[in-house]
Chain A
């Protein structure tokens, strides 16, 4: 690991100022991904700006009935929050399906969103990787890509975003609150992560020095139910092969509202707008759910070894929606 400076930020303003002043500086939250990548030599920040002591560790009720989740709220605290379990079960379930008890106690809300791909080439500095070292190539396209993208990938990168939390937040229409050198702004979580295109080195739309300070959830929909389903290689402590976050409201046998997002399929949580279009107003039946999944997954371009993800995503979506429909 390369030596680095360390600054314990006393305020958001100081953190942002310090982060912007030094090229390559990184914010330190829980460090569960960042410190690991520093050990691997993938990340080499000259300065760590520690934001874990900032007063961003609260979950607050909003006047509109939504929730504001501070960026340093730990994953385990967020998953256990009564308001989250009662009103946004998909969010609690997504968090609990990821990592281990130890990691969830350490990892933060903001850090979870900016965690980096687990593509094995990205994590191995002896290998080329356009995301880690732009212009060196993507060995994953023809190599070990079973766990990688089937949607939205480019000639330059086939990595997937590994966050379960991000998938739930995408389905819930959450927004990320950002604080940067030029002020504050809000970005929908569905637009926070980028597709790789020609610049896979940019995971997100974050600008230099910009810090996630909170995530805002809109009010939950009365009458809607939500859940998270995840398929992985072992029963616990593994990243998703495919996951789905779903919110469904059924009235009189017809779908009144549906939000669907896939994880494990792309460089960002994949909000399934085409599937939602099919679902809206249609009979809440397995046949509708299958047509909806097919409408979304028609755009998939599987690589040599990951075509199974399309079938898996289809089945998970049908299963999650069928379960939710049965509750109304």
Chain B
């Protein structure tokens, strides 16, 4: 993996006294050179400077999850990340989940299950669910993972696991049962089993 070169000491010293910096944001596989005020969050950089408006600004305080993106494959609240601090990190937004016209299996599952009403939280729900599946596969436990689970082994995603792991994404329409079902479908290989795991 390529990484951005460390800025020279002189450039870093300048940034320490300046209020703006040059930076390169890597989003959905594309490097974007930008000059931004240090106060700019990743969320604002995406929406206001890169025209990537999929990630939504809900609470702007890390409490609602509508701004969730993937950073080096792990989900994060983009409203709390400063753009200037993302040196070399790879950001994936909801716009980067599909491959051309082929939707990501989670996007298909959300459509199939009608796992939304207004849709405002959906981009964050999708990115969070993508992150959740990778975390479980990588052996990340949650607070509902049984003590008896083997440390380091992939964690089976029960409905309780999905609910707990999605607790950082709020849905004011209350589409939670369908969201849990949709994530469960993808866990099962992207095929709707006819079983509603949330019920």
B132 at the interface (CB under 8 A from A): yes
User: Is there contact, CB below 8 Å, between A31 and B80?
Assistant: yes
User: Is there contact, CB below 8 Å, between B77 and A103?
Assistant: yes
B28 at the interface (CB under 8 A from A): no
User: Is there contact, CB below 8 Å, between B62 and A103?
Assistant: yes
User: Is there contact, CB below 8 Å, between B21 and A6?
Assistant: yes
User: Is there contact, CB below 8 Å, between B168 and A102?
Assistant: yes
Instruction: Give chain A nearest CB distance to B6 CB in angstroms.
Output: 7
User: Is there contact, CB below 8 Å, between B77 and A5?
Assistant: no
B156 surroundings in chain A (CB, below 8 A): none
B39 at the interface (CB under 8 A from A): yes
B135 at the interface (CB under 8 A from A): yes
Q: Which chain B residues (131-150) contact chain A, with CB distance < 8 Å?
A: 131-132, 135, 138-143, 145, 147
The answer for the CA separation of A1 and B80 in the assembled complex, in Å, is 13
User: Is there contact, CB below 8 Å, between B77 and A32?
Assistant: yes
B37 at the interface (CB under 8 A from A): yes
B91 surroundings in chain A (CB, below 8 A): none
Instruction: Give chain B nearest CB distance to A82 CB in angstroms.
Output: 4
User: Is there contact, CB below 8 Å, between A31 and B85?
Assistant: yes
Q: Which chain A residues (1-35) contact chain B, with CB distance < 8 Å?
A: 1, 3-8, 10, 18, 28, 30-32, 35
Query: Number of A residues contacting the other chain (C-beta, 8 Å)?
Result: 43
B115 surroundings in chain A (CB, below 8 A): none
User: Is there contact, CB below 8 Å, between B6 and A10?
Assistant: yes
Instruction: Give chain A nearest CB distance to B105 CB in angstroms.
Output: 19
The answer for the CA separation of A237 and B143 in the assembled complex, in Å, is 11
User: Is there contact, CB below 8 Å, between B75 and A105?
Assistant: yes
A100 surroundings in chain B (CB, below 8 A): 65, 167-169
User: Is there contact, CB below 8 Å, between A80 and B16?
Assistant: no
B65 surroundings in chain A (CB, below 8 A): 100, 102
Q: Which of A18, A89, A97, A237 touches B168 (beta carbons < 8 Å)?
A: A237
The answer for the CA separation of A1 and B165 in the assembled complex, in Å, is 31
User: Is there contact, CB below 8 Å, between B132 and A101?
Assistant: yes
User: Is there contact, CB below 8 Å, between B167 and A4?
Assistant: no
A207 at the interface (CB under 8 A from B): no
* Known A-B contacts A47-B16, A53-B87, A105-B76; A80 and B141 likewise in contact (beta carbons under 8 Å): yes
**19 A-B interface contacts by CB (under 8 A):** A4-B19, A5-B15, A5-B19, A7-B13, A8-B6, A8-B15, A8-B87, A10-B9, A36-B62, A52-B85, A85-B141, A85-B151, A93-B143, A96-B143, A100-B167, A102-B128, A103-B77, A106-B71, A235-B164
Residues in B lying within 8 Å of A, measured CB to CB: 6-7, 9, 12-13, 15-19, 21, 37-39, 41, 60-62, 65, 68, 71, 74-77, 80-82, 84-85, 87, 128, 131-132, 135, 138-143, 145, 147, 151-152, 163-169
